[in-house]
Chain A
Amino acid sequence: MSTPQFWSTPLRYLRWASHERPAIFYSLIIGSMGPVALVGLPPLRRALGDVDPETIPMSYPIPAGPRTFPKGYDDE
């Protein structure tokens, strides 16, 4: 049995890789779980009842209604 190729027999190649190159195989799996977690975890978190925190304000709130500008001087 020669070394299996990935493109012709993917499942057999994966089984071979998990036996012969376990460190690289499983670290690829663990590493590719990262982006999956990034996409999959927030819906799960919301489904379990966690509420998204408010976004941190980056500027001052603009007051509603007309603004009043002071006229003249206070001490006059």
Chain B
Amino acid sequence: MNNIFLLNDYITNGYRLEFVDFIYIISILFGIFTIISRNPIVSVLFLIGLFVNIAGLLILVGYDYIGLSYILVYVGAVSILFLFILMLINIRISELVSETNNDIPLAVITVLLFYFIIGQVIPSNLTDNTIVTSLSNSFSEVYNVQLDNEILNIIDLKQEIAYASSKSWDNSLIEFTHITGIGNIMYTNYSLWLIISSVILLVGMVGAIVITIKQK
């Protein structure tokens, strides 16, 4: 009996569903702290913590090659240069204090709108394997029932997307280190997430340009 548990531990690498939720929560907290901390070095440190966290998640799930290369590339190369440059710049923290409280309602409204629109389109059963996502999906489904029948004929669209993003991909992964399999899944079944993350990245880029541009 003991051997069976050992085998289970060996196959799953100690993976449990609760650990994934734990890592999700910690990474969300780190992401928030990255934005709200005044000291830029502390902010970058939280960013590094976020990277390590996500690498831990990937290793836990079984993509250890991608997780380790995440640490090697993002933590070992990219953010250490970030930190290096930030430490060499002489920043007074008192200069960084600015009034940003006005923007909070705008941010909240934007996020709600984004999630509302996205929630209409994305099928709710895409990632129903964690507590956090099932909670958030339980909210979104209430909206769906009301909206699907009334305004738009979204059901057809949702079915098409649900077919495209179904879990029929699991036989294309022979081994977790096969990057071709992961890329295949990412560009076919999970292309929705790729598009959403690219939209978020675009917003980030535009935001950085807007902040740094000189207003005449």
Chains A and B directly touch (beta carbon < 8 Å): no
